[in-house]
Amino acid sequence: MISKIAVATTATLVSAAKERQWLMIQNQSDTPIFLSFDGTDSVTIDSGATPGIRLASYETILSTDIAGRFSGNNAAIYAIHGGTGTKNLVIQEI
Protein backbone atom coordinates (compact mmCIF):
# COMPACT_ATOMS: atom_id res chain seq x y z
CA MET A 1 0.00 0.00 0.00
CA ILE A 2 1.23 3.50 -0.87
CA SER A 3 0.29 6.37 1.43
CA LYS A 4 0.95 10.10 1.24
CA ILE A 5 1.54 11.72 4.62
CA ALA A 6 1.48 15.44 5.43
CA VAL A 7 4.35 15.84 7.89
CA ALA A 8 4.04 18.72 10.35
CA THR A 9 6.52 20.66 12.48
CA THR A 10 5.49 18.45 15.39
CA ALA A 11 5.86 14.66 15.53
CA THR A 12 3.58 13.13 12.89
CA LEU A 13 2.64 9.45 12.77
CA VAL A 14 3.78 8.07 9.42
CA SER A 15 2.94 4.41 10.00
CA ALA A 16 1.44 2.60 12.98
CA ALA A 17 3.22 -0.37 14.50
CA LYS A 18 2.83 -3.42 12.25
CA GLU A 19 4.76 -6.33 10.84
CA ARG A 20 6.84 -5.08 7.89
CA GLN A 21 8.85 -7.05 5.38
CA TRP A 22 9.81 -4.16 3.11
CA LEU A 23 9.66 -0.37 3.29
CA MET A 24 10.14 2.60 0.94
CA ILE A 25 9.93 6.22 2.11
CA GLN A 26 10.29 9.24 -0.17
CA ASN A 27 10.54 12.88 0.87
CA GLN A 28 8.58 14.84 -1.75
CA SER A 29 9.37 18.27 -0.34
CA ASP A 30 12.08 20.90 -0.42
CA THR A 31 12.81 20.49 3.30
CA PRO A 32 14.69 17.71 5.14
CA ILE A 33 12.43 15.36 7.10
CA PHE A 34 13.61 13.47 10.17
CA LEU A 35 12.29 9.98 10.91
CA SER A 36 12.25 7.80 14.00
CA PHE A 37 11.77 4.05 13.94
CA ASP A 38 11.65 3.39 17.69
CA GLY A 39 7.87 3.65 18.11
CA THR A 40 7.92 6.90 20.09
CA ASP A 41 7.11 10.43 19.01
CA SER A 42 10.41 11.76 20.38
CA VAL A 43 11.75 12.55 16.89
CA THR A 44 13.54 15.92 16.67
CA ILE A 45 14.63 18.16 13.80
CA ASP A 46 18.30 18.06 14.69
CA SER A 47 19.04 14.36 14.83
CA GLY A 48 15.89 12.25 14.80
CA ALA A 49 15.35 9.67 17.47
CA THR A 50 17.53 6.63 17.95
CA PRO A 51 17.23 4.81 15.69
CA GLY A 52 16.47 7.73 13.37
CA ILE A 53 17.53 9.23 10.07
CA ARG A 54 17.54 12.52 8.16
CA LEU A 55 15.82 12.24 4.81
CA ALA A 56 17.06 15.01 2.49
CA SER A 57 14.83 16.91 0.08
CA TYR A 58 13.46 14.60 -2.62
CA GLU A 59 15.46 11.64 -1.24
CA THR A 60 14.15 8.07 -1.29
CA ILE A 61 15.20 5.31 1.08
CA LEU A 62 14.47 1.60 1.11
CA SER A 63 14.51 -0.77 4.05
CA THR A 64 17.69 -2.30 2.57
CA ASP A 65 19.37 1.15 2.76
CA ILE A 66 18.73 1.41 6.48
CA ALA A 67 19.06 -2.24 7.39
CA GLY A 68 20.77 -1.59 10.72
CA ARG A 69 17.92 0.64 11.82
CA PHE A 70 15.08 -1.21 10.15
CA SER A 71 15.80 -4.94 10.54
CA GLY A 72 13.04 -6.57 12.49
CA ASN A 73 11.59 -3.17 13.31
CA ASN A 74 7.83 -3.29 13.50
CA ALA A 75 7.42 -0.21 15.72
CA ALA A 76 5.53 2.91 14.72
CA ILE A 77 7.35 5.42 12.48
CA TYR A 78 7.19 9.16 13.22
CA ALA A 79 8.44 12.17 11.24
CA ILE A 80 9.02 15.89 11.75
CA HIS A 81 10.46 18.79 9.75
CA GLY A 82 11.82 22.22 10.66
CA GLY A 83 10.24 24.29 7.89
CA THR A 84 6.79 25.84 7.73
CA GLY A 85 3.40 24.27 7.05
CA THR A 86 3.31 20.60 6.11
CA LYS A 87 5.64 18.65 3.82
CA ASN A 88 4.72 15.57 1.79
CA LEU A 89 6.19 12.15 2.48
CA VAL A 90 5.25 8.99 0.60
CA ILE A 91 5.53 5.57 2.23
CA GLN A 92 5.06 2.12 0.74
CA GLU A 93 5.33 -0.94 2.93
CA ILE A 94 4.64 -4.63 2.68
* pLDDT tens track for 16-54: 999 888 889 999 999 999 988 888 888 888 754 555 688
Residue ranges in 2-94 assigned as alpha helix (H):
67-70
Q: How confident is the model at residue 62 (pLDDT cuts 50, 70, 90)?
A: confident
Q: What domain range is 49 assigned to?
A: 2-93
18: domain CATH number? 2.60.120
Count of structural domains within the chain: 1
Work out the end-to-end distance of the chain between its first and last CA atoms, rounded to an integer number of angstroms.
7
